[in-house]
Structure 1
Amino acid sequence: MDYVNLGRSGLKVSPLCLGTMNFGPLTSEEDSFAIMDRAHELGINFFDSANVYGRQAGRGATEQIVGRWFAQGGQRREKTVIATKLYGSMGDWPNEGMLSALNIRRACDASLKRLQTDYIDIYQAHHVDRDTPFEEFWEAMEVLRLQGKILYVGSSNFAGWHLAKAQETAKQRNFFGLVTEQSHYNLLTRTAELEVLPAAQDYGIGVIPWSPLASGLLGGVLRKIDKNRSAADHMVRELEKHRDKIEQYEQFCDELGEDPANVALAWLLTRPAVVSPIIGPRTMEQLEGSLRAVEIQLDDKALARLDEIFPGHRTAPEDYAW
């Protein structure tokens, strides 16, 4: 496994990030433990979570599973770069969500307790809070940093101008600022290329794409349907919108002799500022299969063909101008 720097920081992470969102709702605790153990065996040291993950199992359930896994010892915590997020409401009372200094303090302490650790490697804002100024956000994060509760700060779902404003405010305070941005980015959804990626590249922010397989559409969905495997209703609807592109894509992957899911991940690893796409395996098979992505080398011809199938924004951030 060739490790990469997380943005402009000196922190080394694996080129694939293990997403834990399915742990609890879709993947049992026992299977989640096995997947995390196997991830370490495969060299994956970067895990991502969030305080709200858990869905029907309950908000916070996913962090609790990761925490109980850490508690088993065996240097599980020491070998893991753990990222988690705050923003979503954890209750029905005021100030149990968003990015106020009060919620940042409370949410961090609660995540530390659930994760059974005394520090979080990367503490991320799950979304921009339009009602909280960046001055307040950074002051609260600085306090956590001085207390030793967090090491780095990241963002998620920020626009390009949010990244610029966050970084300029941090610079005024002589604070390191953001090291990561989690963005919705894949072959089908390339809006991030307009301004998020250029801003991230300019400020030295590592981009961590979420939904790299477009909720399964880029994971060989047509092959699965041909094998009489059922697909969720929402996926069927999305497939009908993009069927022509998906058909071309899967045919091209056949020509390459590669699994569509791995080609989608490999493509992301060629993008500017991208550090580590988030994979969200529900099974051990899905985890182990994804490792092929870091070995695939897409040449200029292959990249050009993917751009033909899924046109992007090649002149960003001036894409809208003449």
Structure 2
Amino acid sequence: MEYTHLGRSGLKVSRLCLGTMNFGPQTAEPEAHSILDSALDSGINFIDTANVYGGKGRRGWTEEILGRWFAQGGERRERTVLATKLYGTMTDRPNGSKLSALNIRHALDASLKRLQTDYVDVYQFHHIDRNTPWDEIWQAMDVAVQQGKILYAGSSNFAGWHIARAQESAVRRHGNGLVSEQSIYNLLTRNIELEVIPAALEYGLGILPWSPLHGGLLGGVLQQERDGVRRTEGRALATLKKHEEQVREYEDFAGELGHQPGDVALAWLLHQPAVTAPIVGPRTQGQLDAAIRALEVSLDAGALTRLDQIFPGHRTAPEDYAW
């Protein structure tokens, strides 16, 4: 397993981050614990979750599953860089969501209880809160750091200018600010190349791409459908129809390289600027094994150019749309 620093921080994390959103709703607790053990044994030390994970009516369920895994001992907690998130509604109280100082305090304490730990390594804002000033947010986070409940702060789904505002506010307070940003990023969805990645590079944030296979569409979906393994439905089917020729060309090129399409998609992300670790969210042990296999894939300049031709990206703003 390879390790790298999370953004400009001194924190070392694995080049893959284990996402846990499926644990509970899609993956039963015993198998989730088995996947967690296997990930840790393989060298993956970075685990991501969120207080809302668990599904409607069961929010917090995934954190509870992780908490019972940590409680088994074996230095599971000590060997893990744990990241969780807040923002979403967890109670019916007026202050039961978003990023007010009050909710940061309540949400953090509730997550710590569910996770059966006394601190979180990376506490992340799941969404921007346009109605709470950054001075209030950072004051609440500073208190949590002083209490030893969190070590680092991260964001998720932020625009480039949100990152800039957060960081400039933190600088005025002589704080560290954000060390990471989670964004949807994959060969099919490259919008963050316009402004989010440039902001991350400027301010020293590590990018943690979520949905690296775009809901499975970059994981060999056409081959799977030809083999009768999987049938795409709903929004995924509409997206596939829109990009079917690109996906077919991509799968053929992955075959030319001698790799599975999903392996190529993850390897491509690991070659992109500011990317620390794609977040993989396996439902099964086999899916985790496939993600780990991608770490062995090396793409040369010719392969990267060909992938850009199949899935054109963006130059940074404003160069992408100006002279």
| TM-score with structure 2 setting the length | 0.98
Residue 262 of structure 1 aligns to a residue whose secondary structure is helix
User: How many pairs are equivalent?
Assistant: 322
Q: Distance in 1 between the 2:72 and 2:57 partners?
A: 22
Q: Distance in 2 between the 1:235 and 1:189 partners?
A: 13
Q: Distance in 2 between the 1:246 and 1:317 partners?
A: 28
Q: Which amino acid aligns with 2:132?
A: T
Query: After superposition, where does 1:198-213 map in structure 2 within 5 Å?
Result: 198-213=198-213
Counterpart residue number, 2:246:
245
1:25 touches 1:57 (CA, 8 Å); kept in 2? no
Counterpart residue number, 1:165:
165
Counterpart residue number, 2:312:
311
Q: Distance in 1 between the 2:319 and 2:245 partners?
A: 28
Q: Distance in 2 between the 1:85 and 1:142 partners?
A: 16
Between 311-320 and 34-43, the greater mean CA deviation after superposition: 311-320
1:154 touches 1:180 (CA, 8 Å); kept in 2? yes
1:25 touches 1:56 (CA, 8 Å); kept in 2? no
Q: Distance in 1 between the 2:23 and 2:176 partners?
A: 32
2:90 touches 2:96 (CA, 8 Å); kept in 1? yes
Query: After superposition, where does 1:42-121 map in structure 2 within 5 Å?
Result: 42-56=42-56, 58-121=58-121
Q: Which amino acid aligns with 1:171?
A: V
Q: Provide Cα deviations, 1:246-287, integer angstroms capped at 9, x if missing partner.
A: 011000000011011111110001111000000000000010
2:195 touches 2:316 (CA, 8 Å); kept in 1? no
2:207 touches 2:275 (CA, 8 Å); kept in 1? yes
Q: Distance in 1 between the 2:160 and 2:227 partners?
A: 41
Q: Provide Cα deviations, 1:218-253, integer angstroms capped at 9, x if missing partner.
A: 011001111112223322221101101101100000
Between 310-319 and 142-151, the greater mean CA deviation after superposition: 310-319
Q: Shift of the alpha carbon at 1:321?
A: 1.4
What value does the CA root-mean-square deviation take over the aligned residues? 0.9
1:86 touches 1:107 (CA, 8 Å); kept in 2? yes
Q: Distance in 1 between the 2:43 and 2:233 partners?
A: 32
Q: Distance in 2 between the 1:161 and 1:85 partners?
A: 20
1:128 matches 2:110: no
Q: Provide Cα deviations, 1:111-143, integer angstroms capped at 9, x if missing partner.
A: 000000000000000000000111111000000
2:193 touches 2:316 (CA, 8 Å); kept in 1? no
Counterpart residue number, 1:294:
295
Residue 286 of structure 1 aligns to a residue whose secondary structure is helix
Counterpart residue number, 2:26:
26
Q: Which amino acid aligns with 1:269?
A: L
Q: Distance in 1 between the 2:235 and 2:225 partners?
A: 14
Counterpart residue number, 1:226:
226
Aligned-residue sequence identity (percent) comes to 63
Residue 118 of structure 2 aligns to a residue whose secondary structure is coil
Q: Which amino acid aligns with 1:306?
A: L
Query: After superposition, where does 1:34-45 map in structure 2 within 5 Å?
Result: 34-45=34-45
Mind listing any 5+ residue stretches in structure 1 that lack a counterpart?
Answer: none
Q: Which amino acid aligns with 2:261?
A: P
Q: Shift of the alpha carbon at 1:109?
A: 0.1
Residue 55 of structure 1 aligns to a residue whose secondary structure is coil
Q: Provide Cα deviations, 1:201-223, integer angstroms capped at 9, x if missing partner.
A: 11110000000000111011001
Q: Shift of the alpha carbon at 1:320?
A: 1.9
Residue 105 of structure 1 aligns to a residue whose secondary structure is helix
Mind listing any 5+ residue stretches in structure 2 that lack a counterpart?
Answer: none
Q: Distance in 1 between the 2:271 and 2:317 partners?
A: 16
Q: Shift of the alpha carbon at 1:2?
A: 1.5
Counterpart residue number, 2:257:
256
Residue 216 of structure 1 aligns to a residue whose secondary structure is coil
Q: Distance in 2 between the 1:5 and 1:260 partners?
A: 27
Q: Which amino acid aligns with 2:4?
A: V
Counterpart residue number, 1:8:
8
Counterpart residue number, 1:145:
145
Between 55-64 and 167-176, the greater mean CA deviation after superposition: 55-64
1:208–1:307 CA distance, 2 compared to 1 (3 A): same
Q: Which amino acid aligns with 1:232?
A: E
Q: Which amino acid aligns with 2:177?
A: G
Between 226-235 and 116-125, the greater mean CA deviation after superposition: 226-235
